[in-house]
Chains A and B, each alone.
Chain A
């Protein structure tokens, strides 16, 4: 017999069918902040974005150069491993496809690295083909520092810890190398629709 919590009915928000992965709830207008350390405050004249590692030639964009790249607007649902989801979030930035265009590599994985030392690992196939962006604008405004500004990775089909805040580049790797939370017992891949929260899920 399946388990029922005596007397629990829930306070359900009306969420369109198919929008919430298992175990998630709609946080509504809120936007929780979760990060492992102090918020870094990067100076834009020293900011750059790098593509490095297993590449034919390292790529680097200054903030000014990054701003001149073709931009895209996306409206996506985001899902945090701590069980909140936020629907229809509006972001603007540069597609990872643009950043990796013309890169010659044998890599199958990437490690996103950030100011403050944060890292997260993803299959290369999950950040290409219109699935990932480096965003610097949220809801029409420059991205706030506590939400990852000046720029963060956005990979909305995976749990939000994969969308590294304060991102400064992508390291392409041949082997899969666990990032920060992935080394502390969180799932290596993190698909919310398969509820891959922790290692072994």
Chain B
């Protein structure tokens, strides 16, 4: 499997922070303008580095939320209570600051080539790389069938509501809420399991490319259920994040 090898070193650069806006209950959208940006593939990430006055640094990876067709880049960062970088990015960083980053990185968990069907499955902030992919799909007027199954805790946790509401007819978005739904909610409730996948995703017979992204436990459960339903592991790509309590 030949990847696009990036042999040029991608250096740290200081991006202008244009805006930091609340996106969902715990998520913020960072609009950035890196001075040297030659585009990205939908699904790629950047590394962000913070430096304290005494030279101490902390760095983390964040998926790009914006489509390549859009100027600059947007990141959506979920605030982790016990985190070190995300509290800074969501509470301290503001428009006018500079943010050190480098990228884009990762040539694997990206929008699949071709015109076959694509099934996206997101848990929580795992939807972020898919927003970039859906933006790309829309901007290029793609005709392939795309479905997104998106699991979030509550309605207020939903990331990308504005984008998800304006998808072309080739894209079907299904949302399930796992910790209670507001009055009048007509979408799904409950966790993603084999039954829910069977009812609300592209069946294995159509051989979709499946991309699943979310917390470890979510992706682990989804990937196992997909295998159970008969999807070929060769067409399942996963991206996991977050710590688990041990093996």
A→B interface (CB under 8 Å):
2-12, 22-23, 25, 27, 29-40, 82-84, 116-117, 138-139, 141, 143-144, 146-147, 149, 178, 180-181, 183-185, 197-201
Contacts and interface: CB of A to CB of B under 8 A. Distances in A.
A38 B226 contact: yes
Nearest to B1: A183
A37 B236 contact: yes
A149 B247 CA distance: 10
A63 to B, nearest CB: 19
Contacts of B246: 29-31, 139
Contacts of B51: 2-5, 8
B220 A33 contact: yes
Given A10-B84, A30-B243, A139-B246, 10 more contacts: A9-B52, A10-B50, A29-B245, A32-B216, A33-B220, A33-B244, A35-B238, A38-B238, A185-B106, A199-B6
- Residue with the greatest number of chain A CB neighbours at <10 A, chosen from B60, B236, B243: B243
Contacts of B203: none
B237 interface: yes
A7 B99 CA distance: 12
B247 A139 contact: yes
Interface string B11-52: 000100000000000000000000000000000000101111
B131 to A, nearest CB: 21
A10 B58 contact: yes
A34 B7 contact: no
Contacts, number: 146
Contacts of A30: 243-246
A49 B245 CA distance: 29
B126 to A, nearest CB: 13
A4 B224 contact: no
A143 to B, nearest CB: 7
Contacts of A185: 3-6, 105-107
A144 B247 contact: yes
- Residue with the greatest number of chain B CB neighbours at <10 A, chosen from A3, A27, A139: A3
B216 A5 contact: no
Contacts of A22: 57
B55 interface: yes
5 contacts: A7-B88, A37-B223, A83-B60, A141-B247, A184-B5
Nearest to B49: A23
A33 B220 CA distance: 9
B105 A35 contact: no
B56 A183 contact: no
A6 B106 contact: no
B50 A5 contact: yes
A31 B52 contact: no
- Residue with the greatest number of chain B CB neighbours at <10 A, chosen from A7, A141, A181: A7
B195 interface: no
A143 B6 contact: no
B240 A35 contact: yes
Contact of B242 (A2, A8, A23, A32): A32
B7 A200 contact: yes
A31 B55 CA distance: 27
B243 A198 contact: no
- Residue with the greatest number of chain B CB neighbours at <10 A, chosen from A5, A30, A36, A84: A5
A4 B9 contact: no
A98 to B, nearest CB: 24
A11 B99 CA distance: 18
Nearest to B91: A7
A9 B60 CA distance: 16
B92 interface: yes
Interface in B221-247: 223-224, 226-227, 233-234, 236-238, 240-247
Contacts of B233: 37-38, 40, 116
B100 interface: yes
B115 interface: no
Given A23-B59, A117-B234, A39 B224 contact: yes
B173 interface: no
Contacts of A149: 247
B164 interface: no
